[in-house]
Structure 1
Amino acid sequence: MTVDVTALADLLRRAAKAEIMPRFRRLGEGDVRAKTEATDLVTEADESAERMMRAELAKTLPNAVFIGEESVASDPDLLYKLPDAELAIVVDPVDGTFNFAAGVPAFGVMASVVWKGETVAGIIYDPMGDDWVMAEKGSGAWLRRPEDSDAVRLKVAAPVDLEHMVGMASTGYLEKPVRAEVMQNLAKVRYAASYRCAAHEYRAFAGGHVHFVMYNKLMPWDHLAGALISQEAGAHVARLDGSAYLPKHVDGGLLLATDKDSWQQLKSEVFAAI
C-alpha cells in the first residue's frame, strides 16, 4: 500500500481552508440544493472541495479509484467499482452538510484508503478545531494537530451498565414502526443523541466520550474512516447481524460499542428490531 497518509490528511486540511471555510455562513442563493429530500443537502463547498481533492489525487495517485460522495451522486455506478479496486480513496468533502448549511459548526472532512477490499487508513479532519483523528490499520488511533509532533493516542471509554450508557443513534432512515420501537428502547440508556454528523460522532466515540454509536444507512464515505479509527481505539465494531463491516457494504446497519459485551447488550435490548 503506497499512500502517504500524512499527505492525504494535509490535502483534507488544504481543501477545507481553500473551499469550505470561506463559504461557512456565507452561502449565497443557489449555493445549497436538496438531493434526495429536503434534509439531504449539497452545497457549493461540498462540490468545490471534492473537485480539488479529486484533481490533486489524480496527480499523486493516478491509478487509485476515487470515490467521492458528490461524484457518486453524479455517477451512481462509480460506487460499484469500490469492492474490486486494488486501491481506492473514499472521500466525504463535507460530512454534516445540513449543519454546515445551517451555520452550525459541527461538520468534518473524511477520507479513507481501501486496499484490495479492506480499509487500511482513515482520517477525520475538523476544520473548526483544525486537527485530525486518524488511524492506519494495526497502528492505533491518534489525535494529531498541525505543527505538533506530540500526537495523542485515542482509546474508547471503559464499559458501563446499559442504564449509564451515553451514545449516538441515527434513526432517521429506519421504517416508522422500527424507528418507534428503537426510540422507545433508547430510554433504557442514560442519554442518546444525534449530531447529524458522523465525523464528530466518531471523534467523540473514539476519544472515549460516549459508549456507542449506531447507524442504519451505510455509505462508505460516511463510515469507513470512523469504523477503522474506532477499531484502532479499541471498540467492538460490527454490522447489526454481528458480521464484520467491509467497504463493499451499503446496508445491514452498523453498531459500535466499547466492548463486545456492551455491543451484545445494546443489540438485544435496544436495537433488536433492526
Structure 2
Amino acid sequence: MIVDIETIDEFLAHRSSDVEQALRDAAAAEIMPRFRRLAAHEVDEKSGPHDLVTDADRKAEARLTEVLAGLLPGSVVVGEEAVHADPAVYEAIRGEELVWIVDPVDGTRQFVHGDPGFCTLVALARRGVVYASWTYAPARDQMATAVRGRGAFLDGERLISGSPDQGSDLRIATSHPDYTTDEQKRALLGLRTEGVRPRPCGSAGLEYLAIARGLLDGTVFSWEAAWDHAAGLLLVEEAGGAHLTLTGEPFRITGGNALPFTTARDAATARRVTDMLSGGTPTAP
C-alpha cells in the first residue's frame, strides 16, 4: 500500500502527465463520440429528471477506473457511478488507502442537452486530504491541474484567482433549488441582497475553474458528494481562493459539513458570503 507523502510527491512529479492522458483518452473514446449523438436508450434517470446518467458516464468511469488503479498500485477508485451501484464504495474516501475520486461527466445534464459546459474530474486523496486534481473539459479542450503546494494551472498557465473588483456585484453560482432543503433555501435567501448577483450553477467542476480564473466570485453549494468538489476545491485553493462551511471551517470531503458551503476567490469573500448565508451582517468587501 502506498501511503507516504514522499511516494505521492514522486508519483505526481513523474506520472501526472499520464493521468492527464488517461482523461484525454477516456474522453476521446467514450465521451466525445456520444456528444450530441446520444440515443434515447443511452440516457437514464437516477434519482429523478434532474439526475441523469448516460452510457458516456458509465463507460468513461470504467475506463478511468482501470487505468488509474494501474498507474498507482495499492490505490482504489471511488467513482460516482460505482457509488450509485454500491454506496459502500464511498467509505474508501475515509480510509487509509490512496483514493482516486472520479466524476466521469460532471454536468451530465449539459452533456445530454448538447451544451459544451461539462467536464471530467479526477482527484487523488488520502484520509480526506486532496493532493492533486485534474479538470478536463473535452468539448473546450481545456485541462486544469493542481498539486497541493505547487499551484494551479490551466493548459500550462498559472492560475491566480485574485479578489473581486471593489464596488462590483459579487457573481455567485448557487445550488439548484431542487437540491436544497427548506433550511438551505432560507440560507440562500441571504444572497438576495444589494451587491450580489446569484445564478443557478452549471457543472460544479467548471464553476470551480471559473473561480480559479477570476471569472466568477464564488459558489454556494448544498451537497457533499466528493466527486463534484474534491478536484475543484484544490484547484481554487492553489489559485489563492478559499472555502468555508456555515460553521466557519473549511469543507471536508469526508463529509459532516454544515451546509450550504461557499467557495470564493479569496478568504475575505468566502467569509462575506458565509455571513450572508448565516443571516449575519456581511463583512466589508
TM-score (norm 2): 0.87
| Counterpart Cα distance in 2 of 1:158 and 1:189 | 15
Over 3 Å counting, the alpha-carbon distance change for 1:162 and 1:176 in structure 2 is: farther
What displacement does 1:212 show?
0.9
Q: 1:239 aligns with which of 245, 258, 279?
A: 245
What displacement does 1:191 show?
2.0
Deviations 1:26-45 (A, max 9, x none): 11121111101110000000
State the one-letter code of the partner of 1:214: V
State the one-letter code of the partner of 1:66: V
What displacement does 1:261 show?
2.3
CA contact (8 A) 1:67 1:90 kept: yes
State the one-letter code of the partner of 1:246: R
Q: 1:22 aligns with which of 21, 30, 33?
A: 33
3-state DSSP of counterpart to 2:172: strand
Note the 1:1-274 alignment, pairs <5 A.
Answer: 1=8, 2-3=11-12, 4-144=15-155, 151-160=156-165, 164-172=169-177, 173-176=179-182, 178-179=184-185, 182-183=188-189, 185-249=191-255, 251-253=257-259, 254-269=261-276, 271-272=277-278
State the one-letter code of the partner of 1:20: I
What displacement does 1:180 show?
5.2
| Counterpart Cα distance in 1 of 2:137 and 2:246 | 28
State the one-letter code of the partner of 1:88: V
| Counterpart Cα distance in 2 of 1:241 and 1:267 | 9
| Counterpart Cα distance in 2 of 1:240 and 1:161 | 25
What displacement does 1:59 show?
2.5
Deviations 1:189-215 (A, max 9, x none): 342223421121011110011111111
Alignment RMSD, CA only? 2.0
State the one-letter code of the partner of 1:68: G
State the one-letter code of the partner of 1:40: D
| Counterpart Cα distance in 2 of 1:119 and 1:234 | 16
| Counterpart Cα distance in 2 of 1:273 and 1:41 | 34
CA contact (8 A) 1:162 1:266 kept: no
Q: Which moved further from structure 2: 257-266 or 156-165?
A: 156-165
What displacement does 1:105 show?
1.3
Over 3 Å counting, the alpha-carbon distance change for 1:250 and 1:23 in structure 2 is: farther
State the one-letter code of the partner of 2:27: A
Deviations 1:137-191 (A, max 9, x none): 00011011xxxxxx21111132345762112111432223642562463343342
Over 3 Å counting, the alpha-carbon distance change for 1:72 and 1:154 in structure 2 is: same
| Counterpart Cα distance in 2 of 1:217 and 1:207 | 23
Q: Which moved further from structure 2: 175-184 or 27-36?
A: 175-184
The alignment covers a number of residue pairs equal to 267
| Counterpart Cα distance in 2 of 1:246 and 1:179 | 22
CA contact (8 A) 2:83 2:89 kept: yes
Query: Runs of 5+ in structure 2 lacking a partner?
Result: 1-7, 281-285
TM-score (norm 1): 0.90
| Counterpart Cα distance in 2 of 1:160 and 1:79 | 39
Deviations 1:93-121 (A, max 9, x none): 00000111111111000000003431000
CA contact (8 A) 1:157 1:209 kept: no
| Counterpart Cα distance in 2 of 1:251 and 1:66 | 23
Q: Which moved further from structure 2: 246-255 or 44-53?
A: 246-255
State the one-letter code of the partner of 2:171: V
